[in-house]
Amino acid sequence: EAQVTQNPRYLITVTGKKLTVTCSQNMNHEYMSWYRQDPGLGLRQIYYSMNVEVTDKGDVPEGYKVSRKEKRNFPLILESPSPNQTSLYFCATRSGSRVTGELFFGEGSRLTVL
């Protein structure tokens, strides 16, 4: 079954405590991306990756890091989380580089930073 798996699904943490949200896909997709979803703001792209070792900033990259060492994994790293990073995070994948393709989303990771 085609899947995009995110972990953890829920996390409550404190300001400044480094955390990593993992994303793994079994569809052999080149493109992976992270979005955050906030009430009234919709989905905003944080970072994306066109392929292994290729990453680039989206619209709201401040405070986040990513890496793409393997094709299937694209972790999102918050080095020093702050309360304004409290949000619902989605990892998404797409086959190929063209934007005109279906995005497959994970089920989301709800992060609360106190």
Q: Quick check: 56 binds other proteins (CB under 8 A)?
A: yes
- From residue 112, alpha-carbon distances to 9, 73, 83, 92, 100 in Å are 11, 23, 7, 21, 33
Query: Left if phi > 0, otherwise alpha if psi is -120 to 50, otherwise beta: which for 42?
Result: left
CB of 11 to other proteins, least distance (A): 16
Which residue number, 33 or 85, has a Cβ lying nearer to other proteins? 33
Q: Is there a contact between 85 and 113 (Cβ–Cβ < 8 Å)?
A: yes
Q: Quick check: 4 binds other proteins (CB under 8 A)?
A: yes
Near other proteins in 60-89, by CB under 8 A: none
* Chain residues that interact with other proteins, rule: CB under 8 A: 4, 33, 40-45, 48, 50, 56, 58, 90, 92, 97-100, 102-103, 105-108
